[in-house]
Structure 1
Amino acid sequence: MPLRRTVRVAVALAAAGAVASAGAGCSASSSSSSAAASGAVYEPAGVPGAGLTTVVEGPKIVVGDAKAPHTATVYVDPRCSYCAKFEEGGAVPLAQAAADGKVRIEYVVASFLDARTGGTDSARAANAMRAAAEAGRFAEFQAALFAGGGAEDPLKVADRVEGLRGAEFDRAVREDAYHDWVVSAEKAFEDSGVGGTPTVVVDGQSVGVGDALYDQDAFARVLRDAGL
């Protein structure tokens, strides 16, 4: 059943099929450094995109008005440091475009970076992101997760998100309740052929490359050029 929840449009964007050549992004053939952990408390009023309608459709989390005239498909890995960098940059005008009803965002959470490290941190984080969506705190959780670099214990991340910790969320994290969803999201990433994160495609066309991804004003211009 699709779930309608508050979600942060904490999405990161790059050119499809050109992540490695652009020199900005995490690819299947490169690892990612981690961002520093943050002690901030993430509340709805302080998170861009909080309050947007969200539905889970198969392997995607779809954010924004279903009747929006444009669609952006966005790919991230929770441990991708470039995705974390975008969090404070281009994600902000994209969130505003969704809030203004201009675009709906199909958000795909990959976990390919686990293959580079031999660990499972990306998959565990992706499972927790899904659980946070169930709890109505996806927006705030994602902000806290990227601030911590994506490899932190998801329950410790959740401690920084007002109102998130509880029996249902904690159980879902500890028992890996959304394992199958995480697998399907990774497969959707692999089948897309984009090859790395952060990546976005707007109405079938790749947008955003290089430093523009990490600058709010520059990416706002990219979105305007894409018709948003």
Structure 2
Amino acid sequence: MRAARAVSALAAVVLLGLSVTACGSRATGAAGPMYASRDDLPERLAPDGTTIVVGDAKAMPVRLYEDMRCPVCEEFEVRGASSDLLEMTLRRQVRTEYVLASFLDDRAGGSGSKKAANALRAALEEGKFVEYHARLFENQPEEAIDGYTDAFLLDMASLVDGLRGPAFDSAVREMKYADFVAASERAFDESGAPGTPTMDINGRRLPEWQTGVLFEKGLLPLYIRDRNGEPAG
């Protein structure tokens, strides 16, 4: 799989070609001062009730479809281009939108994807989605173990300042946001995304053959800027 990704990344570089040197002049303009850190990023639930939006509402949207049990999502978030996407979000060049799938529970057994998505929705209520999302991926259990238990999710929440409390803990244990979890999975299904992670840039899907840009740091910002949010299909 890594070899295939390397080929995709190389293809992306070839696709960008000589235009890379001109990317700076075509970068998405920032709408205001840069956010100081991910802790300062605004986060909210979109009107559709299934999309969690992070960053400047006026910035170009980059939508991510993720399943919290997915090891390929973990590779993107921990070792891939997630840090580049975060930097662009901090600079108000894009806003990041998350749709949380939970199909791996049915494929691998268990309920960890659903529990993690529910806990992330609870974290959003506390204004701690971004920090908690990062913690969960940094400590992602093996996919087959179904390790996103209530106890694990609460332990991870203890690592995020200000997240733990009666409301959050109860929401985790009682699956308060089960309706959100189910609706988010339906939104993923209806999106036509082939799996996770899948990325839409300004409403245009990143083609599967170019997904190498998600796993090689430095390529994704060039891709977004060079294509002005309209990657070749």
Q: Give the drift of 1:93.
A: 1.4
Q: Secondary structure at the match of 1:50?
A: helix
2:180 is matched with which residue? Answer: 181
| Cα separation, 1, equivalents of 2:89 and 2:5 | 28
- Is 1:147 the counterpart of 2:146? The answer is no
Determine the C-alpha separation between the residues in 2 that align with 1:172 and 1:149.
20
User: What does 1:25-174 align with in structure 2 at a 5 Å threshold?
Assistant: 49-57=38-46, 58-68=49-59, 70-88=60-78, 89-149=80-140, 151-152=147-148, 153-174=152-173
Unmatched tracts of structure 2, length 5 or more: 7-35, 142-146
- Following the alignment from structure 1 to structure 2, what is the Cα–Cα distance between the partners of residues 186 and 164? 25
Secondary structure of 1:66's aligned partner: coil
Aligned to 2:12: none
Residue of structure 2 equivalent to 1:195:
194
- Structure 1: distance between partners of 2:76 and 2:174: 30
The TM-score, its normalising length taken from structure 2, stands at 0.73
Contact 2:64 2:99 in 1 (8 A): yes
| Whole-angstrom CA distance in 1 between matches of 2:200 and 2:108 | 28
Q: 1:133, 1:179 → 2: CA distance?
A: 14
CA offset at residue 135 of structure 1? 1.3
Relative to structure 1, the CA distance from residue 48 to residue 220 in structure 2 (aligned partners, 3 Å threshold; closer, same or farther) is farther
Q: Alignment identity in percent?
A: 42
Indicate the SS of the match to 1:196.
coil
Cα distance, 1:23 vs. partner? 6.6
Question: Shift of the alpha carbon at 1:198?
Answer: 0.4
- Cα deviation, residue 176, structure 1: 0.5
Counterpart code for 1:202: I
Residues 114 and 120, structure 1, Cα contact 8 Å, conserved in 2: yes
| Paired position in structure 2 for 1:10 | none
Change in Cα spacing, 1:48 to 1:112, as seen in structure 2 (3 Å) is farther
Q: Kindly tell me the number of residue pairs found equivalent between the two proteins.
A: 185
Aligned counterparts of 2:56 and 2:193: Cα–Cα separation in 1:
25
Shift of 1:48: 5.7
Secondary structure of the residue aligned to 1:127 is helix
TM-score normalised per structure 1: 0.74
Give ranges in structure 1 of 5+ residues lacking alignment: 1-18, 25-46
Q: Conserved in 2, the CA contact under 8 Å of 1:48 and 1:95?
A: no
Q: Distance in 2 between matches of 1:158 and 1:113?
A: 22
Residues 179-188 or 80-89, more deviating: 80-89
Report the CA distance between 1:193 and its aligned residue. Answer: 0.6
Name the residue aligned to 2:28.
none
AA at the equivalent of 1:95: L
Distance in 2 between the 1:173 and 1:179 partners? 10
Deviation at 1:142, TM superposition (A): 0.9
Change (3 A) 1:220 1:48: farther
Sort the Cα spacing of 1:191 and 1:113 in 2 relative to 1 into closer, same or farther, 3 A.
same
- Of Structure 1 and Structure 2, the greater helix share is in 2
Contact 2:38/2:131 (8 A) holds in 1? no
| Kept in 1: contact 2:5–2:215 (CA 8 A) | no
Secondary structure (helix, strand or coil) at the match of 1:197 reads coil
The residue identity in structure 2 corresponding to 1:55 is R
* Structure index of larger Rg: 2
Task: Give the conservation status (yes or no) of the 8 Å contact 2:53–2:95.
Answer: yes
